[in-house]
């Protein structure tokens, strides 16, 4: 048995206890559940006009809005003398449930487990002496970050709202952009300890039902303690984890999210994360920017061609430079070759080491710029790049030609609309550079073939990752793969999504 087999055997089990608290629903049980919690609060409330009927109010400080508790719960109890006329606690509870208290959301709870979760979610509980059930009122604070412009997705022409950390606010934003009653929301809880709400959104009558069921089934299979980061959901629902390329789209913009739903995709919104996921995600989606449909179709087509050219540049330019300078000098024009030789005369390193050193320096500066505060991160990246590049050339560590090649490749990578795709391209750029140093142009071609084979073997929820360049189920994608057609001519939804209604306009 190998090392990994022994490692799997040593992993302890992940026990699950349902219900978590198998206790009778009483005040003492709730005090036991929240023992040691300074924010657990309770108070006795005496009904108006009756000095004998006393009920208990429980809540978590900071999770409830005190004005709502005072105005919608405590005030009617203290002023409505009709409540005191109820002969017993059962009728008193029924009267409160039917509207004697001014609250839109009220539920009966009979299990300590569910009542404890209500308290954590921002509800308050009313406990009645002698009764085995309690009333749970929704009086949560609903405090959240205000809706603002998206920070990571530039908006040139379009709405300037973005998702926030509240999943219910995010679903309302989707409802405002897509007012169709066919917009469906399926909700479930993921994470044993975080108890995170995850919503699955789709357009009934448009989306492929099997795609919805597949996304729902993968979410239901997730059994982890906490969903606190994007990877806690993303890595569990994708088809292939042994790849650096993204398999689901994410966006901060509700308009882009709703555009994906209208195309026939399935959306995922996670409580606590200010973004939405769209599935499936294919390579064509990560090379399209949200503003492509806002620009003139000719301008958008030219920019799209430029974007694909930059993809090839950032991926292959360092490798081609290494291959040509090291193995195929006859491909270089004579005057350019003499210039490169003169610049490399005093450089002690091979071309591959020059390229790799600068690529590593470029990645380090980029990482430093991301980790530093925004006010100084950009300054450090620019100054660091100038200082490192200039100093390296003056110290004869690298040649000026290498600095130009690496700079062009790095800047070309920034044109990618998806930073996750740009990160995957940077990894393969290193691999192609190493292969070029070993086998010249043959190594570059072999590496490119490996990349194409790798991408051809990936699927995202049953859709080929090379869409729109690959056929799906024997059906080729209509229209242009790179150029954007005029919107009036785009009358069908993508064939790869297998939507129930292919037509999107007259």
What DSSP letter does each residue of 122-153 carry, written as one string? TEEEEE-TT-S-EEEEE-B----PPP---SSS
- Other Cβ atoms closer than 10 A to 10: 7
Q: Residue 438 is part of which domain span?
A: 293-460
- Whether 273 and 298 map to the same domain: the answer is no
Confidence of residue 317 (pLDDT cuts 50, 70, 90): very high
What tokens were used for 50?
Answer: 């009756």
Q: What is the pLDDT of residue 390?
A: 77
- Whether 347 and 454 map to the same domain: the answer is yes
- Whether 259 and 311 map to the same domain: the answer is no
- Whether 132 and 239 map to the same domain: the answer is no
Using the structure block, give the residue that is written with the tokens 């934003």. Answer: 173
Q: Which DSSP state fits 333?
A: -
Beta bridge partners, 472, equal 475
What tokens were used for 383?
Answer: 């100054």
Decide: 247 and 465 in contact? Cβ < 8 Å: yes
- Whether 102 and 54 map to the same domain: the answer is yes
Q: What is the pLDDT of residue 3?
A: 47
Q: Is residue 51 part of a domain?
A: yes
Asked whether the predicted pLDDT for residue 216 surpasses 70, the reply is yes
Reference 470, options 303, 460, 291; nearest CA is: 460
3-state DSSP helix/strand/coil % of the chain, to nearest 5: 50, 15, 40
Q: Is residue 456 part of a domain?
A: yes
Q: Which DSSP state fits 73?
A: I
Q: Select from 91, 119, 138 the last residue of a domain.
A: 138
Please give the tally of structural domains in the chain: 3
- Whether 302 and 423 map to the same domain: the answer is yes
**Which helix or strand (DSSP H or E) is residue 459 part of?**
strand 459-460
Reference 301, options 69, 483, 89, 119; nearest CA is: 483
Q: How far apart are CA 274 and CA 230, in angstroms?
A: 10
What tokens were used for 254?
Answer: 């509700």
Contacts of 46 (CB under 8 A, 6+ apart): 53, 54
Examine residue 204 and say whether the peptide bond preceding it is cis (omega within 30 degrees of 0): no
What mean pLDDT comes out for the span 354-365? 86
DSSP string, 221-252: T---S---STHHHHHHHSS-SS-SS-SSEEES
Number of helical H runs and strand E runs in the chain: 17, 12
Q: How far apart are CA 73 and CA 102, in angstroms?
A: 7
Beta bridge partners, 249, equal 278
Q: Is residue 407 part of a domain?
A: yes
Q: Which of 110-114, 396-400, 448-452 has the lowest mean pLDDT?
A: 396-400
- Whether 322 and 444 map to the same domain: the answer is yes
Q: Is residue 495 part of a domain?
A: no
- Whether 299 and 408 map to the same domain: the answer is yes
As a whole-number percent, the residues of the chain with pLDDT over 90 amount to 41
- Whether 444 and 335 map to the same domain: the answer is yes
Q: How far apart are CA 199 and CA 124, in angstroms?
A: 25
Using the structure block, give the residue that is written with the tokens 């109820």. Answer: 86
- Whether 302 and 268 map to the same domain: the answer is no
Reference 266, options 418, 416, 462; nearest CA is: 462
Asked whether the predicted pLDDT for residue 473 surpasses 70, the reply is no
Query: For the whole model, what pTM was predicted?
Result: 0.87
Confidence of residue 280 (pLDDT cuts 50, 70, 90): very high
Q: How far apart are CA 35 and CA 21, in angstroms?
A: 13
DSSP string, 37-67: -TTEEEEEEEPTT-SS-EEEEEEETTTB-HH
Q: What is the pLDDT of residue 198?
A: 94
Q: How far apart are CA 389 and CA 248, in angstroms?
A: 36
Q: What is the pLDDT of residue 4?
A: 46
List, in sequence order, the alpha helices (H) in 238-296: 254-263, 283-286
Q: Is residue 55 part of a domain?
A: yes
Confidence of residue 365 (pLDDT cuts 50, 70, 90): confident
Q: Select from 219, 249, 279 the last residue of a domain.
A: 279
Q: Is residue 238 part of a domain?
A: yes
Using the structure block, give the residue that is written with the tokens 């799997």. Answer: 8
- Whether 300 and 441 map to the same domain: the answer is yes
Q: Is residue 487 part of a domain?
A: no
Q: Which of 309-313, 365-369, 429-433, 475-479 has the lowest mean pLDDT?
A: 475-479
Q: What is the pLDDT of residue 393?
A: 78
- Whether 62 and 90 map to the same domain: the answer is yes
As a whole-number percent, the residues of the chain with pLDDT over 70 amount to 93
Reference 164, options 175, 148, 178, 179; nearest CA is: 148
pLDDT tens figures, 225-257:
889 888 889 999 998 888 999 999 999 999 999
Q: Is residue 365 part of a domain?
A: yes
Q: How far apart are CA 114 and CA 116, in angstroms?
A: 5
Helix axes 297-326, 419-456, angle to 10 degrees: 70
Helix (H, G, I), strand (E, B) or coil at 326: helix
Q: How far apart are CA 203 and CA 258, in angstroms?
A: 10
3-state secondary structure 349-380: CCHHHHHHHHHHHHHHHHHHHHHCCHHHHHHH
Q: Select from 122, 138, 154 the last residue of a domain.
A: 138
Q: pLDDT higher for 409 or 495? A: 409
Q: How does 327-348 read in b/e, with b if 16+ C-beta sit within 10 Å?
A: beeeeeeeeeeeebeebbeebe
Helix (H, G, I), strand (E, B) or coil at 343: helix
């Amino acid at each position: 048995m190998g090392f990994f087999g022994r490692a799997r055997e040593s992993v302890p089990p992940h026990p699950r206890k349902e219900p978590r608290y198998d206790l009778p629903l009483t005040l003492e049980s709730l005090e036991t559940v929240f023992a040691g919690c300074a924010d657990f609060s309770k108070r006795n409330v005496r009904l108006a006009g009756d000095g004998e009927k006393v009920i208990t109010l429980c809540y978590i400080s900071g999770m409830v809005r005190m004005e709502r508790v005072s105005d919608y719960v405590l005030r009617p109890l203290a002023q409505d003398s009709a409540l005191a006329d109820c002969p017993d606690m059962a009728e008193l509870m029924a009267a409160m449930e039917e509207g004697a208290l001014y609250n839109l959301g009220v539920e009966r709870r009979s299990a300590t487990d569910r009542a404890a979760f209500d308290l954590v979610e921002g509800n308050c509980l009313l406990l009645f002496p002698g009764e085995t059930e309690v009333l749970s009122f929704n009086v949560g604070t609903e405090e959240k970050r205000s809706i603002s412009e998206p920070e990571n997705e530039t908006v040139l022409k379009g709405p300037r709202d973005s998702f926030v950390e509240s999943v219910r606010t995010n679903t309302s934003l989707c409802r405002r952009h897509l007012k169709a009653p066919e917009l469906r929301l399926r909700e479930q809880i993921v994470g044993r300890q975080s108890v995170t709400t995850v919503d699955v959104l789709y357009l009934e009558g448009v989306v492929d039902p099997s795609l919805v069921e597949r996304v729902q089934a993968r979410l239901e299979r997730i059994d982890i303690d906490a969903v606190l980061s994007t990877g806690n959901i993303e890595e569990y629902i994708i088809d292939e984890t042994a790849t650096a390329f993204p398999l689901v789209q994410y966006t901060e913009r509700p308009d882009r999210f709703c555009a994906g739903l209208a195309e026939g995709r399935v959306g995922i919104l996670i409580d606590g994360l200010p973004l939405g996921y769209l599935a499936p995600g294919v390579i064509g989606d990560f090379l399209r920017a949200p503003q492509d449909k806002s620009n003139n179709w000719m301008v958008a087509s030219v920019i799209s061609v430029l974007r694909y050219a930059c993809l090839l540049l950032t991926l292959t330019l360092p490798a081609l430079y290494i291959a040509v300078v090291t193995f195929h000098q006859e491909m270089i024009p004579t005057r350019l070759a003499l210039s490169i030789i003169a610049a490399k005369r005093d450089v002690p390193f091979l071309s591959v080491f020059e390229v790799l050193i600068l690529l590593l320096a470029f990645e380090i500066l980029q990482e430093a710029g991301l980790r530093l505060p925004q006010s100084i991160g950009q300054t450090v990246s620019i100054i660091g790049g100038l200082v490192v590049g200039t100093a390296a050339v003056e110290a004869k560590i690298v040649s000026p030609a290498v600095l130009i090649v690496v700079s062009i490749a790095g800047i070309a990578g920034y044109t990618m609309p998806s930073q996750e795709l740009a990160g995957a391209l940077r990894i393969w750029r290193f691999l192609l550079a190493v292969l070029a140093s070993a086998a010249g142009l043959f190594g570059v071609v072999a590496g490119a073939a490996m990349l194409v084979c790798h991408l051809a073997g990936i699927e995202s929820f049953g859709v080929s990752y090379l869409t729109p360049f690959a056929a799906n189920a024997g059906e080729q994608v209509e229209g242009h793969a790179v150029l954007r057609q005029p919107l009036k001519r785009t009358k069908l939804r993508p064939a790869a999504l297998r939507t129930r209604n292919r037509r999107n306009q007259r």
